[in-house]
Amino acid sequence: MTKKQKLYIGIVFDLMGMISYVFPVADVVWAPVSAYLVTKLYKGNVGKVGGVISFLEEAIPGLDFFPTFTLVWLYVYKWKKKE
């Protein structure tokens, strides 16, 4: 999967996470699903930490406005120092 595809998929997943503003109970299902999806999109520690952050962001009411998938993408492809 290319980095551009990951960005587009991440944006779609971030928008799906905002559905809970309309259907608040959606977070019960989406929180673990989003955590799993982050770990599948990004391997290693980035995926694990991103998964935990995604789960917490979706599970805690009022934090749905954070675009977690997009922020993880930015970290991996723009902010992270090359090793």
Cα 19 from chain centroid?
Answer: 14
Q: How many helices (H) and strands (E) does the chain have?
A: 4, 0
Question: What contacts 42, CB < 8 A, 6 or more positions away?
Answer: 50, 72, 76
Asked if residue 47 lies in contact with residue 40, where contact means CB atoms within 8 angstroms, the answer is yes
Query: Radius of gyration of the chain from Cα atoms?
Result: 12
Prediction pTM value: 0.88
For the stretch 41-73, pLDDT in tens is 999 999 999 999 999 998 888 888 899 999 999
Given this model, what pLDDT does residue 19 score?
85
**Domain boundaries defined on the chain:** 3-79
